[in-house]
Amino acid sequence: MKEDTRIVRGKFKGDPLTGAIEPPIYQSTTYVLEEIGKNKGFDYTRASNPTRQILEEHLALIEGGKYAVAFSSGLSACDACFRLLKAGDNIVASLDMYGGVSRLLNNLFVPNNFSVSYVDTTNLEEVEKAVKNNTKMLWVETPSNPNLCISDLEGLNKIAKKYNLIYAVDSTFATPYLLKPLEFGTDLVIQSTTKYLSGHNQIIGGAVITNDEKFYEKLKFYQKAIGAVPSPFDCYLTLLGLKTLHIRMKKHCENAQIISKFLEENFEIKKVIYPGLKSHPQYKIAKKQMKGFSGMITFELKGDFERAVRFMNSLNLCSLAESLGGTETMVTHPASMTHTEVPKEIREKLGLTDTLIRLSVGLEDPEDIIEDLNNAIENSKII
């Protein structure tokens, strides 16, 4: 099957009992045994569930992997991956990454004798220099959050294989429609299904996709043992969202390209970061390894913190929200929303300045989005 067909159909052929074209929601905790030691493949929903199994098969198929393990959130998926390591191990990780993952590492794993070396994963030389004798995992976000750094997955794969590292890539911003990290040799692909995959701001979820049976078996054990599993209804909603992933991503990319050019040409904008612009430092790598550039744009306003707040409060169509990947355009101001507890000097070191804005471009008419952004830019000027 061609990719668009795989995304729409998955492996589900209709419900064998009723012929229902959509997967049923198996909202059951437990399952009746035919006799002692014999079941129909399911015994308790924490361990496995028919609706969740259909979702996992669908995710593996569109990612180009053999196995997928679904979790109740993107962070619980990340947590399961880190549990593949043991105390004393080191992780080399992207410096620019989702704050929830660094919080998880710094507050739960580092105090338990793990160490993390944060590096610029767009710099292969810096990555290799960071590898230590106890380094066991290379953790990469591409495109990264929020600075949209694009890492060379093929180059990083050579380093991971050279030092026998578990190679994990969080590809949430790209989705499997635009980027398939497994094709570049990665061991684990992490997706926050909360975002583009479900696509409608309805559910919280995550998944890990792999071709390695040993990793799969361990992740399935963690899924069962810890119990951070998505509900059958959440799996059903994610499956509905997946059916339109290819259509939505094409529109997200198209809109973001138009809007990024508008921002780049606006005198009040200091800097625009979008992988689809030739001004992006890793534009050539993005073009080589991605099918499209996704719907995320990061930009800096001219001015100060107060101007950024005025800009955010002047928006009408664009929603002030801390998530991304939905049908609606959402705007986040890290300094006043997601990173308020981070000291200013550390934020600025990470590139999260007081005027940095993250834009998740939705599916509206791009002219309406541009009009709203332009009005906010004008209204936020110092009079």
Which are the catalytic amino acids? 46, 98, 170, 195
Residue 107, Cβ density class (10 Å: 0-12 exposed, 13-18 middle, ≥19 buried): exposed
- Alpha carbon of 260 to those of 96, 252, 275, 361: distances in Å? 21, 12, 10, 10
**What is the DSSP annotation of 74-135?**
HHHHHHHHHTTS-TT-EEEEESS--HHHHHHIIIIIGGGT-EEEEE-TT-HHHHHHH--TTE
User: Cβ-count burial of 316 within 10 angstroms (0-12 exposed, 13-18 middle, 19+ buried)?
Assistant: exposed
CA distance 370 to 255: 10
Element (H, E) at 67: strand 67-71
Local structure of residue 329 (DSSP, 8 states):
-
